[in-house]
């Protein structure tokens, strides 16, 4: 006897497993970022002043952690917003989403580079790697949106306009500014990191307003 599945209703979503898997990857990546917060090296003699000075010297680690954490948080918020508009999946969308998750899991690595080398002559190189990671992540987001909207049959009804707006945000805000941050990183590392930080601050306010 063959048991057939009930027909899918027009508004039924089948992205639950993909979203749950993605949420797990995001949460692990955000948790791993805290590993870059190192204890200050003990000095002789160890005093309260030396500990405070050691903590102050670790400011690149704090800066990299906060910027990366909130950037990944915004990526998760945007990912959640995208999948609110998607009701079905296909192989192309799942691979595009997998590519995006690959970039999410990579974020702790350039974060560690910035935390370790920002105060050295290699600052330009590590900032290039850091901002370049988010260039590729922006491209991955664009692919998810393009594959989700292709043909319109994967989308929740009447969501095409919202998808187009999100694509416009990728094209006009995220990708160009991350590319600019990558281009200037070798010459002005501080400006590159300022652009990266400015983007997550902008998206925090933009997400709340929506």
83's tokens = 């999948």
What residue segments make up the domains of the chain, in order of their start? Answer: 60-209
Alpha-helical runs (H) found in 107-159: 108-117, 123-149
Q: What is the pLDDT of residue 160?
A: 66
Q: What is the mean pLDDT of residues 53-64?
A: 82
Q: What is the pLDDT of residue 98?
A: 94
Task: Identify the band that residue 8 occupies on the pLDDT scale cut at 50, 70 and 90.
Answer: very low
Confidence check: pLDDT of 95 > 90: yes
**Residue scoring higher pLDDT (145 or 209):** 145
190's tokens = 């501080």
Q: What is the pLDDT of residue 9?
A: 46
Confidence check: pLDDT of 2 > 50: no
- 148/128 Cα distance (integer angstroms): 30
99's tokens = 């590519």
Q: What is the pLDDT of residue 158?
A: 72
Q: Is the pTM of this model over 0.85?
A: no
Average pLDDT over the chain reads: 82
Sign of CA dihedral 92, 204, 32, 188: positive
Q: What is the pLDDT of residue 185?
A: 94
Residue 138 three-state SS: helix
Residue 156 three-state SS: coil
Q: What is the mean pLDDT of residues 70-75?
A: 86
**Percentage of the chain surpassing pLDDT 90?**
28
Beta-strand runs (E) in 63-192: none
- 44/54 Cα distance (integer angstroms): 12
In a 13 Å sphere around the CA of 193, the CA atoms on its Cβ side amount to 23
In a 13 Å sphere around the CA of 9, the CA atoms on its Cβ side amount to 3
Q: What is the pLDDT of residue 1?
A: 37
């Amino acid at each position: 006897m063959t048991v057939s599945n009930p027909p899918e209703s027009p508004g039924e979503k089948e992205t639950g497993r993909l979203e749950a898997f993605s949420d797990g990857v995001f949460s692990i990546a955000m948790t791993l970022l805290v590993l870059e917060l190192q204890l200050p090296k003990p000095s002789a003699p160890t005093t309260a002043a030396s500990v405070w000075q050691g903590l102050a010297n670790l400011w690149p680690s704090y800066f990299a952690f906060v910027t990366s954490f909130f950037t990944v948080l915004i990526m998760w918020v945007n990912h959640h917003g995208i999948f609110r508009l998607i009701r079905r999946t296909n192989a192309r969308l799942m691979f595009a989403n997998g590519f995006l998750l690959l970039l999410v899991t990579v974020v702790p690595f350039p974060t560690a580079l910035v935390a370790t080398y920002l105060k050295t002559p290699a600052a330009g190189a590590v900032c290039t790697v850091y901002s370049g990671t988010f260039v590729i992540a922006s491209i991955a987001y664009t692919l998810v949106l393009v594959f989700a909207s292709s043909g319109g049959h994967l989308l929740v009804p009447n969501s095409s306009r919202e998808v187009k707006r999100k694509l416009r945000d990728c094209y006009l805000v995220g990708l160009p500014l991350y590319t600019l941050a990558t281009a200037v990183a070798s010459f002005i590392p501080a400006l590159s990191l300022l652009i990266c930080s400015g983007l997550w601050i902008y998206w925090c306010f933009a997400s709340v307003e929506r």
